[in-house]
Structure 1
């Protein structure tokens, strides 16, 4: 059959990325030492020479056929296979999935899972570069509200987003642990009354602006020597304002 994709392009311009996105695929990820089944969403792409009209979309899906576990080895294999199958110089992959962290309540010691939005963003040219992303719910209590109020202080859920760049997949558990450093208290799924009392009082004793939170997290990331780059944002879903508050820190930004 005629291979239309391999025809010469009429417009001789190279394409930086061409591929498929929003491909839903079942697999497992390892978190806290255990394999967790999940459903992932893939974006996959390669570069395309200016002379070639089109890429071969079916070959992207073929690279996933034998992938059961999403880990460093399989990530490298997908990217390498994309380059080989599609005769490209660079390959790109973004995979988004939900992971679960087992958290222990501070007093009752009851355990339950907290869901975390995760992603790996990777590209392979001459070298492999991998970004690991997590979105972690936390709790913050307003220092200003505490200072000016006779009774209590307003608190709210906040969302910590961390993206780090390295030559390998970074530990999701470690990034969640670091995200909790910017919280007045972490978020738990299962709390008994004794835990609720403790968490409420802990938040009151540990008030955090979004500025405080993002700096605490940035400081922790600065102390890691195996990161090339990071970006942190904290968004407070305000409880008494008709807006959200946010702050962002990025390594090497001006």
Structure 2
């Protein structure tokens, strides 16, 4: 008669033995898309809970072993992320536990976590506010004592084309010259009325929704501060998308667009300058995408901090 203890002890473990004709070391093995709750402080001191998906991996440097212990990784992720807020120390401890549970198989571990963080953003003029959901992707790795922590997000904003604005102004000038005889004195009230008519805005520059995708590497001893990162970028751009919008907010947004004409190159340089000033960041990678309203394709620019051995700016999705 089998007891439960005997039954468990007799369960086969085929992953423990390699098939001779398939032996070989593997770079990474693990699971992706693990559903788990996470607790995250975006930088304002409030810890919010979110639904996340995690990826947990270790390498398999033993060619004579067929596989790793997937269930160990799953249980470690579930217990750690459910119990502690996301911090550099917590993630390093979790990766250390990956390696401790696979000390006979692995010497490298990595973890990715993806979720959305809701941040309340104020309206431009009306005093209202609304929620913006910023995607967050955290990636951490541990190789020996070398711990690397990166995270990324996206900022959505409006970009108005400087070339299109100049062409529009030229058309408005030409219309003004047609409507007002240069030999006659200008009447203030007539000109003011003309400026408020459709003839006074004969052409408008094209603008488009644009996206800045950010990937940053936290400096040693640094902390997550999503709100500070987003604030720096949105202030540098000047035209982040809005939440609650009354007419006075929309008018303020139109003014901001007219005051912040930018090509994708300008946007990338603005963000680069803003992030260069952040001592919490050891490195960063920027991808700016202007989803053109004039063309069926996008205008794209990349930038990085430019540190030795850092991200670099190789074009990628």
| TM-based fold match above 0.5 | yes
Matched, 1:177 2:231: yes
Q: TM-score, with normalisation over the residues of structure 1? A: 0.92
Residue 70 of structure 1 deviates from its aligned partner by: 2.6
Residues 99 and 117, structure 1, Cα contact 8 Å, conserved in 2: yes
1:36 CA displacement: 2.2
Please identify which structure carries the higher helix content. Answer: 2
The structure with the larger Rg is 2
Moved over 6 A (4+): none
SS at the partner of 1:231?
A: strand
Deviation of the 1:226 alpha carbon: 3.9
* Aligned match of 2:187: none
| CA pair 225-9 structure 1, distance change in 2 beyond 3 A | farther
Does 1:5 pair with 2:15?
yes
Choose 221-230 or 42-51, whichever is displaced more: 221-230
Q: How does 1:44-193 map to 2 (within 5 A)?
A: 44-49=56-61, 50-66=63-79, 67-68=81-82, 69-87=85-103, 88-125=106-143, 126-149=145-168, 150=172, 151-166=203-218, 167=220, 168-193=222-247
User: Deviation of residue 33 (structure 1)?
Assistant: 2.4
- Give the distance between the partners of 2:25 and 2:235, measured in 1 at CA: 45
| 5+ residue gaps, structure 1 | none
Normalising by the residue count of structure 2, what TM-score does the alignment of the two structures yield? 0.75
State the secondary structure of the residue aligned to 1:199. helix
Please state how far the C-alpha of 1:47 moved relative to its aligned partner: 1.0
Distance 2:261 2:243 in 1: 21
Q: How far apart are the structure 1 equivalents of 2:90 and 2:265? A: 38
Contact 2:223/2:280 (<8 A) preserved: no
Q: Unmatched 5+ residue regions in structure 2?
A: 1-10, 173-202, 307-311
Greater mean alpha carbon deviation, residues 61-70 or residues 234-243: 61-70
Contact 2:155 2:240 in 1 (8 A): no
Shift of 1:12: 4.3
Contact 2:87/2:224, CA 8 A, preserved across alignment = no
RMSD of aligned C-alpha atoms? 1.9
- Indicate if the aligned counterparts of 2:52 and 2:115 stay in contact, CA closer than 8 A: yes
